[in-house]
Structure 1
Amino acid sequence: MITSAIRAQDLSYEEAQVDVVFIKPCPQVKVAEEVLGPFNEGVETKLPLWLAMSLANQGIVRLRQDSSRSLVELSKSAWREERSDTLLPVDPDFYSRLRSYLKELKLKVEKSPSQQALNEQRQAEIKANDLVNCRLQKIVKMALDKNPPKNLVDNMTTEEKVFFNSLRELIEKWRGLILGI
């Protein structure tokens, strides 16, 4: 159930439109029933992320910089979450973006392993783990509460809500078995 929630969120994320700039001319492209292009060098447009990433890997487009996908932003998010007693709101596609960013860093290191790329990857993985662990601790604490505040549950992503509900169900079942009620 959790895996399918993550897959569904990732699919939604990959279908989202992103800004790209063509750095090479591109002929007409047929995607499913839709025809895109042709595009000249320098043309800016929006494309589904999955297509934009494919074209970027071929050196045809450059994605407009997503400032939310950086080590600085990840560090800020982890810092804020660690200093808050409650679960902070994040974008619905937060984990999809995080996974995408970590995957991007891994590919960057594999393509051209430099000390700088390796350091960024390590630091990003550490910050991502810190952030996920911090959010998990808060979610587990909320799952133990019989009536968690609705506004905090609303701060969860879809993946977190699925985990939270599964955990609450497991906790209630365990309580019932242990207490015989």
Structure 2
Amino acid sequence: MRILGIDPGSRTTGFGVIDVVGQNRIYVASGCIKTQGGPLAGRIKIILDGIAQIVATYKPDESAIEQVFVNVNPAATLMLGQARGAAVAALVLAGLPVTDYTALQVKQAVVGNGHADKEQVGLMVQRHLRLSGVPQADAADALGVALTHAQHQGGAAKQLAAYRMSMKRGRMA
């Protein structure tokens, strides 16, 4: 399974692509879509087009995106929400299933501590994916989202398999 993780931002949107092969998580690609400021409508188009190009290039099977947190600055939160909406729209238009994860869930899954800082996330992403260096912060966060999705999907698949194994002719065995 190939997973595309997204860390949305109105100026920099991180992306990370991993393959899941059994218990292995394999790095495919990561990077950032930079919007260089300007009017919000133009930045949203850059994000929409950028995500569409990433999907066309890497052909993921599933996608995951970090949820927006409420900031002390309502205007910044609104802009971030619109950037996230552009990313979600690109994923949905491409026919991908989209799963949301909070920053707390990502940090918990990747680092084991929901209050980890960005540096810890980057170092653990490097370790999990056996990378030679720490990815840029937004790309590392996006790879963390993809790793979180892989972990959650694997757990759900194991639960479903265990449930199916305990069933016999529609009854619990």
Same fold (TM over 0.5): no
| TM-score, length basis structure 1 | 0.30
Structure that is richer in strand per residue: 2
Larger Rg: 1 or 2?
A: 1
